[in-house]
Homo-oligomer: A and B are copies of this chain.
Amino acid sequence: MKINKGLALTLLVGLGISAVASDSLINEAKKAGLKPIPKDKAALNKLIDNPKNKLTPEKIELGKKLYFDPRLSKSALISCNTCHNLAIGGDDNVPVATGHKWRHNPHHLNSPTVYNAVFNQRQFWDGRSPDLEDQATGPIQAPPEMDMHKEMAVKVVKSIPEYVEEFKKAYPNEKITIETIGKAIGAFERTLVTPSRYDDFLNGDEKALSKEEKEGLKTFIQVGCAGCHNGVGLGGSMQPFPVAKPYKYANVGDFKGDKNGMVKTPTLRNIAETAPYFHNGEVWSLEEAIKIMGETQLGKELSDKEVKSIATFLNSLTGKKPKIEYPILPNSTKDTPKPNLD
C-alpha cells in the first residue's frame, strides 16, 4: 500500500507521534530551566506573593493609584507609568530613561519593563535592589527620574485624606513612609504578569505554539540562550556580561554591572514590545540583539536561520496584559505640596 505524505502525517498525528515530539520539547525546556506562569490561580498567587508584603486587594488598588500618580514626582508630571508605561510593553521605548527637567539617566541606562518584573531575582540593571517594593522607592527619589525628596512624597500622600484612609486599610499597623509607599506600589506591580501561548505550551497544550515557534524554542535551548534566560521570567538573574566578546556598543554610557561585573538578565517576556534593547538601549532590532547575544555571551556566530528561528519563538512570548481601569486619583488639598518644575 502506497501512503502519501499528507495521509502519513495524519496517521502520525492520530497515533500521537506529534504529541510525543511536543512532549519531549516540553521536557527539554523544563530540563533547561524554563518554567511557565502557572495556570492555576492559587499557584500563581503563591508565586507572585511577598511574605513581607502579603498581597491584598486593598494594597493592590492603593498601589495602582500611586503607580499612576504624577504627584509623587517633584514636578507632579512624572509617574512610575511614565517610564514603565503599561500601554506600550511596560517600558518607555526610548534608549535612555528620561525624567525631571528632561534629564537622562547618567549611566545611559534603558528603562526595563515592569511586566513580569516580579519574576526577577533582583531589581535594577546592577541588581542592587532585592524586590519590587524596595525598587519602587528608588526612581521616586532619583534626580534624573522623579526627583522627589522622600519626605515630600510622604507629605503629598498624607495631605490627601483618601490616601490616608486607604493606607490605614492596606497597612493598618504601619506609618506612611517612603517604604510603605514602595510596598503598595510593589504590591500592584506583582500583579503585572502576562501569560502567553508559550505558557499554555509549557503547561501541556501542545498546539499552543506553531511548528516554527517550537523549532525556535528548540534552537533557543540548543544554542544556549536558556543558560541565562530561564526560570518563569526567562531572565531575571544576575549573570556575567560580557562573557565571550566585548559588547558591541559598550562605549555608550559607563555601565559596567555590579561590583563583580554582573548584570541582571532582562526578561524575554514581551521582548517584541520592549525595543530598544540592552542596558543602554542601543539596539532596535530583535534579530540584531539575538546575534549580539550569541557573540557576546555564547561566543557563537549564529546563522541567519538560527537568529530568525529564535526571533520567531521570542515573538510567542508576547503575553496577555491584565485589564487595568485607569484610576481617578483623589484630589489634592491645600496642604498638598505644590509642584516644582525646576
Question: CB within 8 Å of B: which residues of A?
Answer: 68-71, 75-77, 82, 85-89, 92-96, 98, 101-102, 104, 272-273, 275, 284-285, 318, 321, 323-329, 331-332, 334, 338-339, 341
- Assess whether A332 is in contact with B275, with CB atoms less than 8 Å apart: yes
A338–B281 Cα distance when bound, in Å, is: 12
Q: Who on chain B is nearest to A85 by CB? A: B70
Given contacts A82-B77, A88-B70, is CB(A94)–CB(B325) below 8 Å?
no
A69–B92 Cα distance when bound, in Å, is: 11
Question: Can you report 12 A-B residue pairs in the complex whose CB atoms are below 8 A from each other?
Answer: A70-B88, A70-B92, A71-B88, A75-B94, A77-B92, A86-B326, A87-B326, A87-B327, A87-B328, A104-B341, A272-B331, A284-B338
A324–B326 Cα distance when bound, in Å, is: 6
- Assess whether B332 is in contact with A93, with CB atoms less than 8 Å apart: yes
A339–B338 Cα distance when bound, in Å, is: 31
Given contacts A70-B85, A71-B93, is CB(A321)–CB(B331) below 8 Å?
no
**A92 smallest CB distance to B (angstroms):** 6
Given contacts A70-B85, A71-B93, is CB(A325)–CB(B328) below 8 Å?
no
Given contacts A101-B102, A321-B328, is CB(A334)–CB(B285) below 8 Å?
yes
- Assess whether B77 is in contact with A94, with CB atoms less than 8 Å apart: yes
A75–B95 Cα distance when bound, in Å, is: 10
A341–B111 Cα distance when bound, in Å, is: 15
Q: Is the interface of A mostly helix, strand, loop or mixed?
A: loop
A325–B323 Cα distance when bound, in Å, is: 7
List chain B residues, Cβ under 8 A from A329.
87-88
Q: Which of B69, B334, B338 contacts A87 (CB 8 A)?
A: B69
**A187 smallest CB distance to B (angstroms):** 18
**A80 smallest CB distance to B (angstroms):** 12
Q: Which of B68, B104, B326 contacts A325 (CB 8 A)?
A: B326
**A262 smallest CB distance to B (angstroms):** 29
Q: Who on chain B is nearest to A101 by CB? A: B102
- Assess whether B98 is in contact with A341, with CB atoms less than 8 Å apart: yes
- Assess whether A75 is in contact with B87, with CB atoms less than 8 Å apart: no
List chain B residues, Cβ under 8 A from A102.
101-102, 341
Q: Who on chain B is nearest to A104 by CB? A: B341
List chain B residues, Cβ under 8 A from A275.
332
- Assess whether A93 is in contact with B339, with CB atoms less than 8 Å apart: yes
List chain B residues, Cβ under 8 A from A321.
328
List chain B residues, Cβ under 8 A from A285.
334
Q: Who on chain B is nearest to A327 by CB? A: B87
List chain B residues, Cβ under 8 A from A69.
87-88
Given A70-B93, A75-B94, A88-B329, 16 other A-B contacts at CB below 8 A? A69-B87, A70-B92, A71-B88, A76-B94, A77-B82, A86-B328, A93-B332, A94-B339, A94-B341, A98-B341, A102-B102, A102-B341, A272-B331, A273-B331, A284-B338, A324-B326
Q: Who on chain B is nearest to A324 by CB? A: B326
A201–B342 Cα distance when bound, in Å, is: 44
List chain B residues, Cβ under 8 A from A325.
323-326
List chain B residues, Cβ under 8 A from A332.
93, 275
List chain B residues, Cβ under 8 A from A318.
331
